[in-house]
Amino acid sequence: MAASNPVKGGRGGRRDRRARLGPAGHYLALAPFLVFVSVFLLYPTVVVVMGAFQDNGGHPTLSNLRAVTGSVYADAFVRSIELSAVTALVGAVLGALLSWAIAAAKPEGLVRRLVLAGCGVLAQFGGVTLAFAFIATVGVTGLATNLLRELFAIEPPRGGAWLFDMPGLMVVYTYFQIPLMVLVFLPAVEGLRPQWHEAVQSLGGSTWRYWRHVGGPVLSPAFLGATLLLFANAFSAYGTAAALVSQGSPIVPLQIRAFMTSEVITGQQNLGKALGLGMIVVVALFMGLYALLQRRTARWLR
Amino acid sequence: MTHLQMSGLGKAFGGVRALDSFDLDIAAGEFVSLLGPSGCGKTTALRIVAGFESADRGRVVIDGQDVTRLTPDRRDIGMVFQAYSLFPNMSAAGNVEFGMRLRGVAPRRRRDRAGELLDLVGLAAHGGKYPHQLSGGQQQRVALARALAIEPKILLLDEPLSALDAKVRVNLRGEIRRIQKDLGITTLFVTHDQEEALAISDRVGVMSEGRMEQLDVPATVYREPATPFVAQFVGVTNALLGSIEGSHVVVDGSRVPIQEARSYRQGAKVRLLVRPEEVHLAEADGNEMSAHSAKILATVLTNSFLGPVSRVTVRLDTGEGQLVLADMPSPEGGGFAPGQQVLVELRLRRPMLVER
Ligand SMILES: Nc1ncnc2c1ncn2[C@@H]1O[C@H](COP(=O)(O)OP(=O)(O)O)[C@@H](O)[C@H]1O
Ligand SMILES: [Mg+2]
């Protein structure tokens, strides 16, 4: 790369040094990132995909895949997708409404700053801490549960055990989906220009017409993208579910845990890898679907 | 053809008086500009007419109908904003068609009409493009076509050219005026650019702090400013420091006779407002000095050729060394060279004084 730049005496300024890097230099600058991606993304993916097609002896086989498409595992996939889709949709809708309220608030106001800071924290609030917060509040002997029992003699469903199954997972997941939605969607809402609404009005249209023909269509690509992110976020979440659910493995990440840690089922780690492959396929399918929708909703972006 | 009346409009934001007993009457088919510094209330006046802002006091009347309480969507007003107002999710044609779509015009008829309007603003070939594929000037043309598409009674434009390059700006303002005349649409145009206002308007309203300072045809606003504010805001003006002495203003030792000086207190400190074209320069030969006390000795600093005139900057030799701009007709004006000593003579048409 240095060869492409003949030495110019006395002009070795900053410009020259950058020019000397050349195109190869730009790739060199990317090297740390590429190494990172290779070690923590590509390599594990290859291991998972290869493992899914091998038996314990390392011989090629389809039996792992056949096994995980069986009923128990298929159910886990259905529940995982259900959980992710429901919490992504509920989180997206509520988060979008919250974003809209924040965007309408005074730009430098206290409310707005507090809500934004809160979202930043809560979107990352997961795993054992979040599970504990819910158990301590609405669990079997949680604070709110006890108050309801003693003050109003109301008994929560299944004595509060609902929290440790699918309904509980949905509520707890939604709790971190909403603030995540605000973080990724707010910039799009703030990108709506007030003069678009005013232009619609002066042309004789109502506020409803504005949302129907301008605001909605302009936001929809960002909304779709954010909803997909929420889906992936829930689909791949493990810590919160692991801390909350100790009996059974209703969703795929917990099934994989069972294969990796169980003392009962030994020598079947490759089944876990087959489940991992299944997750990769599901996410890829959703990405494909997203790309198609994006094409249709955002023709004007290209 | 529509007649627009604003009378006694008042509007305050918190403690800020944006508009204060504001009156403006625009005849059918007339093009009036509101001119004034940033924050003087131009946009507020426009937005009250459009209905986006409600007046605290006063009335807006369109063709005899009081619309003060009407919502914007029921006023039939075309609005062109400063920038980025096109709907990004619709093509240029889609933007122009939008108002007609809201009014239930049939698709075929809508498309034809949008085509005509795009042609009118010189963008016939660009109907299929999305806003982000258009230049700033083209976007504003589309915005104008979109506003005109609903055949509004009144056209409002809020600094529609201020985000554009100088050259595009001059072109487009000419076209706005041409189209406005063709259609005979009553138009209120807001700008802080005096040249723009003077160039394209039937009448110019100069505003300051929420009030109308002067409303008149461009030539009168320029030549006969009604107030010191207008004199200083419109055109280039020298504000010479001086003090009152009887019926004279003394500028750096030279006595300039001015009738109005009598109405000031003896010794009062004032600024004498003088247009560059009222300043006459003559070569100094060292003799005539004492005899002509109204002339002031000065030294040329720069001389720039502006076409019909040369603008000469001189520094007065006495007193605080004030700078004075003089516009001298071209062949003669070109002769003044930096460093040369000259005699400054004030040939005042409309002397104007401001107390300081
Ligand atoms: N929505 C608003 N809230 C508070 N103050 C405003 C608002 N709109 C305008 N103002 C104030 O009113 C005054 C006039 O504003 P504006 O009409 O926008 O002036 P211009 O268009 O001449 O620059 C300014 O002092 C401005 O700060
Ligand atoms: Mg303004």
Q: In chain A, positions 125-164, which contact chain B (CB-CB < 8 Å)?
A: none
Does residue A40 form part of some domain? Answer: no
User: How far does the CA of residue A233 sit from the closest CA of chain B (Å)?
Assistant: 29
Q: What is the ipTM of this complex?
A: 0.86
Each residue's pLDDT tens digit, A186-197: 999 999 999 999
Q: Which two tokens stand for residue B165?
A: 């390059």
Q: Does residue A213 sit at the B interface (CB-CB below 8 Å)?
A: yes
Q: Which of A27, A5, A3, A24 is nearest to A15 (CA)?
A: A5
Side by side, which strands form the sheet with B341-346?
B279-283, B341-346, B295-305, B309-316, B323-329
**What's residue A198's pLDDT?**
97
Q: What angle do CA B273, B279, B284 make, to 5 degrees?
A: 135
**Pocket-testing residue among B9, B16, B34, B56, ligand 1, by greatest number of atoms within 8 A of Cβ:** B16
- Which pLDDT score is estimated for A267? 65
B37 lines ligand 1 (CB under 6 A): no
- Are the CB atoms for B40 and B207 separated by under 8 Å? yes
- Token readout for A165 is 């199954």
Q: What is the pLDDT of residue B318?
A: 82
What own/partner pairs with CB < 8 Å and gap ≥ 24 does B165-168 have?
A: B165/B136, B165/B137, B168/B135, B168/B136, B168/B137
Q: Is the pLDDT of residue A9 over 50?
A: no
What average pLDDT score do residues A96-106 get? 90
pLDDT tier for residue A11 given thresholds of 50, 70 and 90: very low
Q: At residue A210, does pLDDT exceed 50?
A: yes
pLDDT at A12 over 50: no
Mean pLDDT for the stretch of residues A141-154: 87
User: Measured in angstroms, how far is the CA atom of residue A94 from the centroid of ligand 1?
Assistant: 34
At B77, is the secondary structure helix, strand, or coil? strand
Local confidence band at A6 (pLDDT 50, 70, 90 cut-offs): very low
DSSP A192: S
Asked if B305 is an interface residue toward chain A (Cβ–Cβ < 8 A), one would say no
Closest by CA position to B211, among listed B234, B189, B230, B191: B230
**Distance from the CA of B44 to the center of ligand 1, in angstroms?**
6
Question: Residue A228 corresponds to which tokens in the numbers above?
Answer: 């997909």
B79–A202 CB contact, under 8 Å? yes
- Look up residue B64 and give its amino acid: G
**Residue B37 CA: which ligand is closest?**
1
Residue B194 burial (CB count, 10 A): 20
Cβ of A199 under 8 Å from any chain B Cβ?
A: yes
Q: How many CB atoms lie within 10 A of CB A99?
A: 27
Q: Which pLDDT belongs to residue A21?
A: 61
B15 lines ligand 1 (CB under 6 A): no
Please, which pLDDT band fits residue A128 given cuts at 50, 70 and 90? confident
Q: What are phi and psi of A96, to 5 degrees?
A: -65, -40
pLDDT of residue A265: 61
In angstroms, rounded to a whole number, what is the distance separating the alpha carbons of residues B272 and B341? 23
pLDDT truncated to tens, each residue of chain B (356 aa)?
799 999 999 999 998 999 999 999 999 999 999 999 999 999 999 999 999 999 999 999 999 999 999 999 999 999 999 999 999 999 999 999 999 999 999 999 999 999 999 999 999 999 999 999 999 999 999 999 999 999 999 999 999 999 999 999 999 999 999 999 999 999 999 999 999 999 999 999 999 999 999 999 999 999 889 999 999 999 889 999 999 998 999 988 888 888 888 889 999 999 999 999 999 999 887 665 544 457 888 999 999 998 889 999 999 988 888 999 999 998 888 889 999 999 999 888 888 888 88
Q: Could you tell me if the CB of B40 is within 6 A of ligand 1?
A: yes
8 Å CB contact of B50 and A217: no
- Shortest CA distance from B86: residue in chain A: A196
Beta bridge partner(s), residue B280 = B345
Answer yes or no: is A2 within a domain: no
Q: Which residue of B has its CA nearest to A203?
A: B99
Measured CA to CA, the distance from residue A215 to residue A96 in angstroms comes to 13
**Does the CB atom of residue B18 touch ligand 1 within 6 A?**
yes
More reliable by pLDDT, A138 or A215: A215
pLDDT value at residue A245? 85
Answer yes or no: is pLDDT of A1 > 50.
Answer: no
In chain B, where do the E strands start and end? 4-13, 16-26, 31-35, 57-62, 65-66, 77-80, 154-158, 186-191, 203-208, 211-216, 238-245, 248-251, 254-257, 269-274, 279-283, 295-305, 309-316, 323-329, 341-346, 352-355
Are B85 and A206 inside 8 Å of each other by CB? no
Spatial CA neighbour of B91 closest among B139, B57, B59, B55: B139
Give residues 51 to 90 of B whose Cβ lies within 8 Å of A. Answer: 51-52, 71-79, 81-82, 84-85, 87-90
Q: Which domain holds residue A244?
A: 71-301
Q: Which chain A residues are within 8 Å of B163, Cβ to Cβ? A: none
Phi, psi of A253 (to 5 degrees): -55, -35
User: What are residue B218's phi and psi, to 5 degrees?
Assistant: -50, -45
Taking the centre of ligand 2 as the mean of its atom positions, its distance from the CA of residue B24, in whole angstroms, is 17
Task: Answer whether residue A14 is part of any domain.
Answer: no
Q: How many domains does chain A contain in total?
A: 1
Tokens 């100094």 found at: B284
A262: left (phi over 0), alpha (psi -120 to 50) or beta: beta
Distance CA B209, CA B19 (A): 7
Q: Can you tell me the mean pLDDT for A216-220?
A: 92
Domain-embedded: residue A19: no
SS3 state of residue B256: strand
**Subunit contact A202:B74, Cβ cutoff 8 A:** no
Buried b (16+ CB within 10 A) or exposed e, B55-87: beebebebeeeebbeeebbebbbbbbbbbebbb
Would you call B91 an interface residue with chain A, using a CB distance cutoff of 8 Å?
A: yes
* Beta-sheet strands, E only, within A146-283: none
CATH of the domain at A179: 1.10.3720.10
The total of other beta-carbon atoms located within 10 Å of residue A294's CB is 16
Query: How far A56 CA lies from chain B's nearest CA (Å)?
Result: 55
Report yes or no on A291 lying in a domain: yes
The closest of B266, B224, B232 to B249, measured between CA atoms, is B266
Which tens digit of pLDDT belongs to each residue from B14-23? 989 999 999 9
Cα–Cα dist B110/B94, whole Å = 10
How many helices and strands, by DSSP H and E, does chain B display?
9, 20
User: Using the beta-carbon criterion (under 8 Å), do B79 and A218 form an inter-chain contact?
Assistant: no
Out of A200, A202, A217, the one facing B78 most closely (by C-beta) is A202
Cβ contacts from A onto B, under 8 A: 66
B38 lines ligand 1 (CB under 6 A): yes
CA of A102 vs chain B CAs: smallest distance (Å): 22
**B73 to chain A, closest Cα gap in Å:** 4
In a domain, A43, yes or no: no
Check CB contact under 8 Å for B75 and A202. yes
Ligand 1 in contact with B24 (CB < 6 A)? Answer: no
Q: How far is CA B293 from CA B259, B272, B284, B296, B343, in A?
A: 17, 17, 14, 7, 11
Please report, for residues A54, A137, A272, B190, the alpha-carbon distance to residue A261 in angstroms, rounded to integers and kept in the order given. Answer: 20, 30, 11, 73
Give the C-alpha separation, B327 to B314, whole Å. Answer: 11
d(CA B114, CA B96): 6
For A196, the closest chain B residue by CA position comes to B85
**Residue A120 is encoded by which pair of tokens?**
């930043």
Q: What is A45-105 written as a DSSP string?
A: HHHHHHHHTB-TTS-B-SHHHHHHTSHHHHHHHHHHHHHHHHHHHHHHHHHHHHHHHHHHS
